[in-house]
Amino acid sequence: MSGTSNKNNLTQRIIIAMLSGAVIGILFHYIPIGLFPDGNPTFDKISAFFLDGVLEVGGYWFIASLKMLVVPLVFVSLVCGICSIGGSARIGSISVKTIGFYLLTTAMAISLALIVSNIIDPGVGNLKDVASAEGFEAKESPGLVSVLKGLVPNNLILAMANGKMLQVIFFAVLFGVGLAKLGDKVRLVRTFFFELDKVIMQLVMTLMHFAPYGVFCLIASMFADKGFGDMGKLIVYFLCVLLVLFLHTFLSYGSLLWLFTRLNPLTFYKKMGQLWAFGFSTASSGATIPLTLKTVEYKLGVKNEVASFTVPLGATINMDGTAIMQGVATVFIAQYFNIDLGFSDYLLVILTATLASVGTAAVPGVGLITLAMVLEQVGLPVEGIALIIGVDRILDMVRTAVNITGDSVASIIVAKSEGMFDEKVYLADTNDTQND
Of 302 and 401, nearer to ligand ASP (C-beta) is: 401
Of 79 and 272, nearer to ligand ASP (C-beta) is: 272
Of 230 and 320, nearer to ligand ASP (C-beta) is: 320
Instruction: Determine, following the binding rule CB under 6 A, whether residue 285 of this chain makes contact with ligand ASP.
Output: yes
Q: Taking contact as CB under 6 A, which single stretch among the options 246-254, 258-266, 277-285, 297-305 is the one that binds ligand ASP?
A: 277-285
Q: Which of 319, 328, 331, 372 contacts ligand ASP by CB under 6 A?
A: 319
Q: Which of 106, 117, 284, 354 contacts ligand ASP by CB under 6 A?
A: 284
Instruction: Determine, following the binding rule CB under 6 A, whether residue 366 of this chain makes contact with ligand ASP.
Output: yes
Shortest distance, CB of residue 2 to ligand ASP, whole angstroms?
A: 28
Q: Which of 292, 322, 335, 433 contacts ligand ASP by CB under 6 A?
A: 322
Scanning residues 326 to 365, which ones bind ligand ASP (CB under 6 A)? 362-365
Q: Taking contact as CB under 6 A, which single stretch among the options 13-21, 219-227, 255-263, 397-405 is the one that binds ligand ASP?
A: 397-405
Instruction: Determine, following the binding rule CB under 6 A, whether residue 113 of this chain makes contact with ligand ASP.
Output: no
Instruction: With beta carbons less than 8 A apart as the criterion, state whether 81 and 193 touch.
Output: no
Residues in contact with ligand ASP, counted by CB under 6 A, come to a total of 16
In the shown chain, the binding pattern of residues 403 to 432 toward ligand ASP, with x for contact by CB under 6 A and - for none, equals: x-----------------------------
Of 14 and 283, nearer to ligand ASP (C-beta) is: 283
User: Where do contacts with ligand ASP occur on this chain (CB under 6 A)?
Assistant: 283-286, 319, 322, 362-367, 396, 399-400, 403
